[in-house]
Amino acid sequence: MDNRGNVKGIAARVAIWSARHRALAIIGWIAFVAATVLLSMQVATKDANYALAGHGDSGKADRIVEEAGFPEQPAGEMVLIQNRAGSDRVTAAGEATRALKATSGVTDVQAPIESPDGRSTLITFSISGDPETASERVGPALDAVAKVQTAHPDLFIAEAGDASGDKLIGDELEEGLTRLSLLSIPVTLGILLIAFGAVVAALLPVALAVMSVVAAIGLMAAASRLAPAVDETTHVMLLIGLAVGVDYCLFYIRRERDERRKGADPHRALMIAAQTSGRSIWISGLTVIVAMAGMFFTRDVTFVSFATGTILVVATAVLGSLTVLPALLSALGDRVDAIKIPGLYRRNSEGRVWNALLRVVLAKPLVSAVIAVAALGALAAPAMDLKTKGQGIQDVSADAPVVLAMVAIGEAFPSKTTPARVVVHGDDVKGEEFDQALAGFRSAVAASDGKLVEPIDVEVNPRGDVAVVSVGLSGKETDSTAIAALEMLRGEVVPDTFGRLSGTTANVTGATASSVDYNERLEQSLPWVFTFVLGLAFILLLVSFRSVVIAITGVVLNLFSVAAAYGMLVFVFQYGHFEEQLNFVSGGGITNWMPLFLFVILFGLSMDYHVFVVSRIREGHDRGLPIREAVREGIGSTAGVITSAALVMVAVFALFATLPLTATKELGVGLAAAVLLDATIIRAVLLPAVMALLGKANWWLPRGLRWLPEIAHEPPAAVTPPPVERELTRVS
């Protein structure tokens, strides 16, 4: 008897092959993971060059400077000595200068300069050697400055700069990531032990998820040749890979166990899991990949790197779930429930609480829908006030001396921390014409009513064809004052001075300019990203369920979860609630790349639950159940696994909120909150209420689309496996 004739779908056919050749499937998976590790050892990951990755006017300026052949500058450091109680700074400045000159690794110590308000003194110096590794050598300078601060407690004396900032970020991140790595796997395993009540069943998803992340990181080394990687990509891959990998395995294992408990033989239980949960996994994975691919439309190095990394880790997790997992389940049989935990192991996986709630929702669907929409609307309301901001050192550890010093230096000496840089490019920037333009520029700065701040520094490359003119902007980085100053510089001062030079270009860059150009680029790409993600998600759902209504419902419900997540981010990080508990200081906005990234991530992850739940509802419909009964059975039977999967995701995402960077806190809180809402209010209340209200209309398909392929959702008919297969699936 040909078994394949009774089994439909790629997932089921792959499962049959894996069950028949389980040794080959298991060894092949291990070899695949090992090969990716060897690949990453042989092919180093190519890191993104931020100097070549900017946008707009600032991006042009950065690329000109990168290619101009300026000599490499050592890492610059600054010491701020500031009155906080009317004390004299002269003695402290002298002691700090002498201490720095006597410190190993310190070079080019400059004479102290005074701030315009007469309250601050600044000493600048450099750390000798390669600026990329200066953070490893800045320690003695920090110690020397700390000793001066101890000797003058009535003054504020602190160091900040390139090397000390990198050291702070590196130390804080290393500590946070170490804590994350120590907690994420044990926390995930603990949740799965409670969910399954058996050690072996709990270990399988964690092991496969970790192996998927390792393999994807190895593949990223090769992929970085086409899409250079940014530092945060590995963290994002761990975040998404662990959550998605565990969820996919959880869906598969739970369905196989449930079918065994209903009396199915091992082969049939595995085939049902493959044709139902397996099918949901690859559809969900494909939808997540489509959502991630939307980031390519930004043409931004960070988003392209995120897209590449997340696509690789999701694809690898899907591959492992559909290939090696069936082989392992076939080999283990009922031993997947080995080492049962007393009090936790349950024969029935249905959730009593969710079933009780579901009875209420289906009895009063309209009232339930209104309450759910009102609750989500209230959570999403703050999103109407969403503002974005660039990342700064204050997003690392707001109370660290290096951060306090950098912020204070920016206020007292704005031209020293985040100056605007006018990049003048022409055949000759050393002649009389350039000098006249520079004199006009100085006059315009002096007449700018304080919007542009002196001193003005000029640096010319050895070829004499590029000059970088630095000038301070009033305000703080990307606040309205700094942006107004930038607009004056770009719109009036530069065009009237350097812009009049023949045969030259004049572009403005710097932290403020780069942030403004970055935001403009994101605004331009948003319509393309949203259209691509929403459009393709709609098509995938339409083809999968042959229903326009189901596709529209899925898209709209996912948008609800995204909007609610935005609202909660604004409430917490923009308005500054829970600062003490989460250990951050609000910057008055959300990190500029966060809204777009959260949209694609959340939209993709929400499909996990939507596809899984609606597939079970469709199974009941295909068996002829009335819509409310199909909804009750579909959601009731998935309540336990959805709860477990959501808890895993929420726990992993919440751990990322413990990392020191504000951006990672936003990412962790936003994802955890959205997944929690998605698994509760949306899937347990709003989805069943809406489907109950729509009734038969849920499965509406226009006559013009009836050519779409039929995809069976019901479990396969009972089959008798071939002799070889019966032997493979025999259990003791």
With helix as H, strand as E and coil as C, how does 296-359 read?
HHHCCHHHHHHHHHHHHHHHHHHHHHHCHHHHHHHHHHHHHHCCECCCCCCCCCCCHHHHHHHH
Contact (Cβ atoms closer than 8 angstroms) between residue 657 and residue 668: yes
In tens, the pLDDT along 409-444 reads 888 887 777 789 999 999 888 888 999 999 999 999
- Claim to verify: residue 661 and residue 678 sit in the same structural domain: yes
- Claim to verify: residue 392 and residue 524 sit in the same structural domain: yes
pLDDT of residue 276: 86
3-state secondary structure of 422: strand
- Claim to verify: residue 582 and residue 689 sit in the same structural domain: yes
Residue 68 lies in a domain: no
Contact (Cβ atoms closer than 8 angstroms) between residue 728 and residue 19: yes
Please identify which residue in the block is written with the tokens 């579909």. 634
- Claim to verify: residue 300 and residue 390 sit in the same structural domain: no
Q: Tell me the mean pLDDT in the region 458-486.
A: 89
Q: Tell me the mean pLDDT in the region 179-202.
A: 87
d(CA 123, CA 112) in angstroms, rounded, equals 5
d(CA 357, CA 671) in angstroms, rounded, equals 25
Whether 16 has a pLDDT exceeding 70, the answer reads yes
Torsion angle of the four alpha carbons 381, 382, 388, 392, in this order, in degrees rounded to the nearest 10: -150
Residue 309 lies in a domain: yes
- Claim to verify: residue 248 and residue 367 sit in the same structural domain: no
- Claim to verify: residue 233 and residue 368 sit in the same structural domain: no
pLDDT of residue 4: 42
Question: How many angstroms from the chain centroid is the CA of residue 126?
Answer: 34
Residue 76 lies in a domain: no
Residue 619 lies in a domain: yes
- Claim to verify: residue 379 and residue 322 sit in the same structural domain: no
Tally of CB atoms within 10 A around 88: 11
Q: How confident is the model at residue 588 (pLDDT cuts 50, 70, 90)?
A: confident
Whether 728 has a pLDDT exceeding 80, the answer reads no
pLDDT of residue 135: 92
- Claim to verify: residue 645 and residue 689 sit in the same structural domain: yes
d(CA 31, CA 423) in angstroms, rounded, equals 52
Domain range for 206: 1-42+201-343
Contact (Cβ atoms closer than 8 angstroms) between residue 420 and residue 468: no
Contact (Cβ atoms closer than 8 angstroms) between residue 565 and residue 598: yes
Instruction: Report strand pairing: 75-83 vs 155-161.
Output: antiparallel
Listed in sequence order, the residues at least 6 apart from 5 whose beta carbon sits closer than 8 Å to its beta carbon are none
- Hey, CA dihedral for 106, 111, 115, 120, is it positive or negative? positive
- Claim to verify: residue 371 and residue 338 sit in the same structural domain: no
d(CA 599, CA 563) in angstroms, rounded, equals 9
- More confidently predicted of 608 and 406: 406
pLDDT of residue 719: 44
pLDDT of residue 105: 92
Contact (Cβ atoms closer than 8 angstroms) between residue 542 and residue 548: yes
pLDDT of residue 348: 53
Residue 196 lies in a domain: no
Residue 528 lies in a domain: yes
Within 13 Å of residue 468, how many CA atoms lie on the same side as its CB?
20
Q: What are phi and psi of 538, to 5 degrees?
A: -60, -45
For residue 657, the 8-state DSSP code is: T
Tally of CB atoms within 10 A around 109: 21
d(CA 319, CA 312) in angstroms, rounded, equals 10
Q: Count up the domains in the chain and report the number.
A: 2
- More confidently predicted of 393 and 46: 46
pLDDT of residue 717: 44
d(CA 264, CA 269) in angstroms, rounded, equals 5
- Claim to verify: residue 555 and residue 594 sit in the same structural domain: yes
3-state secondary structure of 6: helix
- Claim to verify: residue 271 and residue 381 sit in the same structural domain: no
Q: What are phi and psi of 84, to 5 degrees?
A: -120, -10
DSSP string covering 599-621: HHHHHHHHHHHHHHHHHHHHHHH
- Claim to verify: residue 368 and residue 321 sit in the same structural domain: no
CATH number for 259: 1.20.1640.10
Q: Tell me the mean pLDDT in the region 108-133.
A: 90
Please identify which residue in the block is written with the tokens 């250990």. 583
d(CA 109, CA 112) in angstroms, rounded, equals 9
Q: Tell me the mean pLDDT in the region 318-323.
A: 94
Q: pLDDT above 70 covers what percent of the chain?
A: 94
3-state secondary structure of 124: strand
In tens, the pLDDT along 663-692 reads 889 989 999 999 899 888 998 899 999 999
Residue 57 lies in a domain: no
Q: What are phi and psi of 407, to 5 degrees?
A: -65, -45
